[in-house]
Amino acid sequence: MDFGDLRELKVSVPSFLSIITTEEPPEQRFSETMTFEEALVAVNDLVFAKLGRHLSEAEIIVMKGAWNSHEFVEIAENSPYSVNYLQRRLAPQLWNLLSEIIGDGQRVGKRKLRYFLEQVAKKYPAQSASNRVQVPLDTGFMQKIKGQPPNVSTFYGRIQELALLKELIVKQRCVSLVGVAGIGKSALAAKLLAELSIESQPRFDCLIWKSVTHAPRVQDLVADLIELIDPLEPSSNLPEYTQAMISVLVKQLQSRNCLLVLDETDALFHRNKLEQRLEYKVLFRRLLEEQHQSCLLLTNRIFPEEFGTLMKAKRPIEYLRIEGLDSEAAMQLLSANGLTDKDKCQKLIHTYRGNPLELETLVEKIHHYFASSTEHFFKKYTTFVSSEFQAMLDEMFGEILSETQRRIMIYLAEKINLNLKPVRFEQLLSDTSQSQETPVSTSEVIKALEQLERQSLIESSKDPVTKEISFTLQPMIKKYITTDPMRLVHTSDTLPTLAIAS
């Protein structure tokens, strides 16, 4: 090799290295024409085929942020979720899921996500617009939710309830979600806020979540709401008297279009706190009667008597009773938690009436004690009652139910234990009036039955031919009555001891 060859080599080596170092790795060579929505359609179908559910709203938000090379802080700022939840809890699970489904043996992470999404979209192009996910995808506009609603990254069903709620909140000044413990009232309200927060044409310019389970004083709650609506309103400038403070809140609701969610409002109307109940009755009456374009969304286990009076007075208030998840949504919940035997799952769904919390409690027990096998569980079948559901029944039997209501509940549990059939109204009325205890009038029995139905403690059905009404109990409620874990059901030694139910 002569000197000329060496000089040529000296020139060509840097040039070759330049070619190597400037070439982008595969995950950085992105398509300029493919959109995130197009890529999402394909991967969403694959996730549904694998898990029986679509990608959640939070998962889509993280994926879109990663597609656009945004940091987690920026993603969280434009979403209803905290950065800690998105980055440390949701993202690792999401990357594991996507690595399994679209990684083709490689690890899918935030930096490589766009490359893998584009590859799967090319391999599985969407066949039609009907394949598109139903979660809103335009996260360019994200309205900030004030307060801390519960996490709804995993949410099943409730399509009809959400649609109805979106209609009611623009027609009424107050909407109350009513249902038993664990049925999903708070989750539904939080999901509504999450969907409203990403609407391209928002219905409200202020979304607020406030938990009132600690039963704050009226003055404290009003002051908190005023500050949440307008953080620039110094608390030191608020009037001293309650009614004047409420007037400030009303003016805010007149000047801004707000949706205020008050979670677990049963605590505000506790029967042992008469003065507080009266103060809150005045607050809600003013918020309903004075003109404004805002809306209150409340969650309650029991629809307050005070609200019933306002409804009868034709005030703009509505309540929506929340029942359990439908069969398909409940099956998705169980499938996502590892239970896939369809026939056995359907029996569980019926027993627990699609109550999400009760089903999740059951799943934990099956995984922990029965080796994750529904077959093993059904060999030793029993009915579980979650601590939250029991706490609700403790309160009902300990403080709320009248003696007549209590006697009806015990009577139904006894009868259903004997023949497993609903009890006809005629039989119930006859047996109650002929009881050795104090006789009860027909009107008193009917009033008690109406209240128990409103509280979702009993279930009724009508014979399609005779139109005769019958009553029964959910298995969890029957189990509670027959076992009486806190000795709150039987208040007299004369009442019979019931056999323990399954």
pLDDT tens digit sequence for 212-255: 999 999 999 999 999 898 877 666 678 888 999 999 999 999 98
CB atoms within 10 A of CB 51: 14
Residues β-bridged to residue 262: 210, 298
Q: How many residues does the chain have?
A: 502
Tell me the average pLDDT across 117-143: 57
> Residue 464 and residue 406: Cα distance in Å, rounded?
29
Query: 191-205, 242-256, 318-332, 403-417: which has the minimum mean pLDDT?
Result: 191-205
- Say whether pLDDT at 7 is over 50: no
Band (5; pLDDT cuts 50, 70, 90)? very low
- Say whether pLDDT at 188 is over 80: yes
Query: 123-127, 129-133, 169-173, 202-206: which has the minimum mean pLDDT?
Result: 129-133
Fold topology of 388-483: Arc Repressor Mutant, subunit A (1.10.10)
Tell me the average pLDDT across 182-190: 95
Band (31; pLDDT cuts 50, 70, 90)? low
Band (432; pLDDT cuts 50, 70, 90)? confident
Query: 138-142, 366-370, 433-437: which has the minimum mean pLDDT?
Result: 138-142
Delimit the domains of the chain by residue range.
36-123, 146-321, 327-384, 388-483
Question: Which carries the bigger pLDDT value, residue 467 or residue 11?
Answer: 467
Q: What is the structure's pLDDT at 311?
A: 85
CB atoms within 10 A of CB 495: 14
Question: Which carries the bigger pLDDT value, residue 24 or residue 433?
Answer: 433
Band (66; pLDDT cuts 50, 70, 90)? very high
- Say whether pLDDT at 458 is over 90: yes
Q: In what order do the strands lie in the sheet with 317-321?
A: 145-146, 206-211, 258-263, 295-300, 174-178, 317-321
Question: Which carries the bigger pLDDT value, residue 284 or residue 38?
Answer: 284
Query: 79-88, 156-165, 399-408: which has the minimum mean pLDDT?
Result: 79-88
Q: What is the structure's pLDDT at 55?
A: 83
Q: What is the structure's pLDDT at 498?
A: 37
Rounded alpha-carbon distances, angstroms, from residue 287 to 151, 276, 291, 298, 421: 29, 17, 8, 13, 46
Q: What is the structure's pLDDT at 253?
A: 92
Mapped onto helix, strand or coil, the DSSP state of residue 210 is strand
What is the CATH architecture assignment of 146-321? 3-Layer(aba) Sandwich (3.40)
Q: What is the structure's pLDDT at 8?
A: 46
Q: What is the structure's pLDDT at 472?
A: 95
Return mean pLDDT, the chain.
Answer: 83
The reported pTM is: 0.70
Amino acid at 4: G
Q: What is the structure's pLDDT at 269?
A: 86
Band (143; pLDDT cuts 50, 70, 90)? low
Tell me the average pLDDT across 84-98: 87
Q: What is the structure's pLDDT at 493?
A: 44
- ∠ CA 499-501-502, nearest 5°, is 150
> Residue 268 and residue 388: Cα distance in Å, rounded?
19
Count the alpha carbons within 13 Å of 314 in the hemisphere toward its beta carbon: 0
What is the percentage of the chain residues whose pLDDT exceeds 90? 48
Tell me the average pLDDT across 109-115: 91
Query: 156-170, 276-290, 362-376, 432-446: which has the minimum mean pLDDT?
Result: 432-446
> Residue 146 and residue 112: Cα distance in Å, rounded?
33
- Say whether pLDDT at 15 is over 80: no
- Say whether pLDDT at 12 is over 70: no
Band (29; pLDDT cuts 50, 70, 90)? low
Query: 59-68, 268-277, 295-304, 341-350: which has the minimum mean pLDDT?
Result: 268-277
CB atoms within 10 A of CB 265: 24
Band (187; pLDDT cuts 50, 70, 90)? very high
- Say whether pLDDT at 211 is over 60: yes
